[in-house]
């Protein structure tokens, strides 16, 4: 066992332990503000991640929406139903005009209990990946293989409570829908003649697609052809044989251009983007570019939140400074004694500065732990409640910056009390107390 000595570190820790309430309050304040800052930065990063998920391996998105940003918000994030359709002939002409890797038609507009429906082709599950490099996975059942089969996104399945084998009726637009049985009289926009059978439930992808239900494109066409025929007074069940060219509509086209092996980028991207843009009947969007634009819009808002968290952090540093500064009045004799024993002014300055750094470093580490635990709890809750997959881990770069910034603030906060300790008049503080 090594011989005992007294070290600067022990003196610092003893001073902190001599003021437990003040020490714990200041550490807690620093921890709370660091955790708040990290959570906000993490949320921004997670939100960015969540928006990045969903467009997956799409290069271009074509729709008839008013703008590329609206096209992305509607077509990938299900913000609203696209207002204008694209004809099947247009889809075919686009697909045949260039050797795309794939061109997947989509149609939106129907819903089930507020969950949006995406009608599409089998390629949507076979070729499109909601997250690049992460193909669709089934939690149970299978993908649809024929009309009037429906596959549920993870959050939609959880939110609706639907199980494999159950029947559902879709609603035109976002009105109320019901489960199984005969259509209700008051369900004006419900496609009550056509029950869909749940055949598959998807694993969560952490994207907006988790909230959607997926059906075969032809089913959707039949629903709307039936509406048309009803309006025309034609009776009887509508089948695919009754479809006319005007019934075959899509609201979006997901495009992937040819790429080199091992690369996600396409050399033809800009040229093809420009070519499609010349067609005034459609809009064409590069999802990644539009998501960036969206983040530029919202970054002002989260910048305000982050600025508020930084202000809280600075406030906690000021509290540290005040706590230390006020403690100096009661410690002048201790400092004078240390000076008599041989401690230099610089060493005393360093002791007080170290106290400030220990407080802020402890607070910062506790804050990181708090943010991590909070992130794990929030992530588990989000996944369990709405199926949203958010990575609870802290961004290493943000964490290092926050840690470094907090320690730097701690150093600054310690300067004034340390200067006061530096200037303690030794002889005057050794006298017997009056």
Partner 1 sequence: MPASTPALTIRDLRFSYPAASWALSVPHFEMAAGEHVLLVGGSGRGKSTLLQVVAGLRELGSGSVEVAGTRMDALRGAARDEARGRSIGMIFQTFNLLHGFSALENVLAALMFSSMPAAGHEQRARTLLSTLGIAAADADVDQLSVGQQQRVAVARALAARPALVLADEPTASLDPENTETAMDLIQSACRAEGAALLCTSHDPAMRARFARVESIDEMIHGGAR
Query: Which residues contribute to the site for partner 1 (CB under 8 A)?
Result: 2-7, 10-11, 14, 17-18, 333-334, 336-347, 426-427, 430-433
Q: What CA–CA distance (Å, rounded) separates 248 from 299?
A: 40
Kindly report the backbone phi and psi dihedral angles of residue 250, in degrees, each rounded to the nearest multiple of 5, phi listed first.
-130, 165
Q: What CA–CA distance (Å, rounded) separates 417 from 321?
A: 7
The separation between the first and the last C-alpha atoms of the chain, rounded to the nearest angstrom, is 44
Whether 155 contacts 213, CB under 8 Å: no
Instruction: Provide the minimum distance between the beta carbon of 394 and partner 1 in the complex, in angstroms, as a whole number.
Output: 37
Instruction: Provide the minimum distance between the beta carbon of 359 and partner 1 in the complex, in angstroms, as a whole number.
Output: 18
Q: What CA–CA distance (Å, rounded) separates 25 from 28?
A: 5
Instruction: Provide the minimum distance between the beta carbon of 20 and partner 1 in the complex, in angstroms, as a whole number.
Output: 11
Residue 71, classed as helix, strand or coil, is helix
Kindly tell me which of 261 and 434 has the beta carbon lying closer to partner 1: 434
Q: What CA–CA distance (Å, rounded) separates 7 from 373?
A: 34
Kindly tell me which of 236 and 342 has the beta carbon lying closer to partner 1: 342
Instruction: Provide the minimum distance between the beta carbon of 360 and partner 1 in the complex, in angstroms, as a whole number.
Output: 23
Kindly tell me which of 219 and 354 has the beta carbon lying closer to partner 1: 354
Kindly tell me which of 294 and 426 has the beta carbon lying closer to partner 1: 426
Instruction: Provide the minimum distance between the beta carbon of 336 and partner 1 in the complex, in angstroms, as a whole number.
Output: 8
DSSP codes, 140-178: EE----STTEEEE-HHHHHHH---TT-EE--EETT----
Kindly tell me which of 108 and 327 has the beta carbon lying closer to partner 1: 327
Q: Which residues contact 420 (CB under 8 A, 6 or more apart)?
A: 325, 328, 352
Instruction: Provide the minimum distance between the beta carbon of 401 and partner 1 in the complex, in angstroms, as a whole number.
Output: 36
Kindly tell me which of 180 and 425 has the beta carbon lying closer to partner 1: 425
């Amino acid at each position: 066992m090594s011989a005992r000595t007294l070290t600067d570190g022990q003196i610092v820790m003893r001073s902190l332990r001599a003021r437990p309430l003040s020490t714990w309050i200041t550490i807690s304040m620093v921890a709370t503000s660091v955790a708040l800052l990290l959570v906000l930065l993490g949320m921004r990063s997670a939100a960015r991640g969540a928006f990045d998920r969903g467009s997956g391996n799409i290069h271009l998105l074509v729709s008839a929406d008013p703008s590329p940003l609206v096209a992305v918000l509607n077509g990938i994030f299900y913000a609203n139903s696209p207002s204008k359709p694209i004809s099947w002939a247009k889809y075919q002409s686009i697909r045949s005009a260039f050797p795309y890797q794939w061109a997947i038609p989509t149609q939106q507009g129907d819903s089930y209990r507020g969950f949006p429906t995406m009608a599409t082709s089998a390629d949507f599950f076979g070729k499109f990946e909601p997250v690049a490099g992460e193909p669709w996975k089934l939690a149970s059942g299978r993908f649809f293989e024929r009309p009037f089969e429906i596959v549920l996104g993870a959050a939609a399945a959880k939110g609706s409570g639907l199980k494999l084998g159950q029947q559902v009726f879709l609603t035109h637009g976002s009105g109320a829908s019901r489960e199984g049985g005969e259509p209700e009289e008051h369900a004006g926009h419900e496609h009550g003649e056509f029950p869909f059978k749940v055949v598959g439930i998807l694993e969560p992808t952490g994207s907006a697609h988790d909230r959607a239900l997926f059906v075969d494109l032809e089913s959707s066409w039949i629903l709307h052809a039936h509406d048309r025929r009803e309006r025309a007074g034609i009776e009887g069940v509508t089948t695919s044989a009754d479809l006319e060219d005007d019934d075959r509509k899509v609201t979006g086209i997901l495009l992937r251009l040819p790429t080199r092996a091992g690369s996600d980028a396409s050399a033809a991207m800009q040229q093809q983007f420009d070519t499609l843009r010349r067609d005034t009947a459609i809009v064409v969007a590069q999802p990644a570019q539009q998501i960036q634009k969206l983040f530029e819009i919202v970054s002002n808002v989260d910048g305000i939140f982050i600025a508020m968290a930084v202000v809280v952090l600075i406030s906690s540093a000021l509290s540290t400074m005040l706590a230390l500064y006020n403690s100096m009045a009661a410690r002048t004799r201790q400092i004078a004694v240390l000076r008599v024993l041989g401690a230099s002014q610089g060493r005393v300055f360093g002791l007080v500065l170290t106290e400030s750094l220990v407080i802020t470093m402890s607070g910062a580490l506790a804050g990181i732990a708090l943010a991590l635990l909070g992130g794990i709890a929030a992530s588990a809750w989000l996944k369990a409640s709405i199926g949203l997959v958010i990575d609870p881990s802290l961004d290493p770069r943000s964490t290092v910056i926050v840690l470094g910034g907090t320690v730097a603030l701690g150093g600054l906060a310690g300067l004034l009390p340390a200067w006061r300790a530096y200037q303690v008049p030794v002889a005057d503080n050794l006298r017997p107390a009056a």
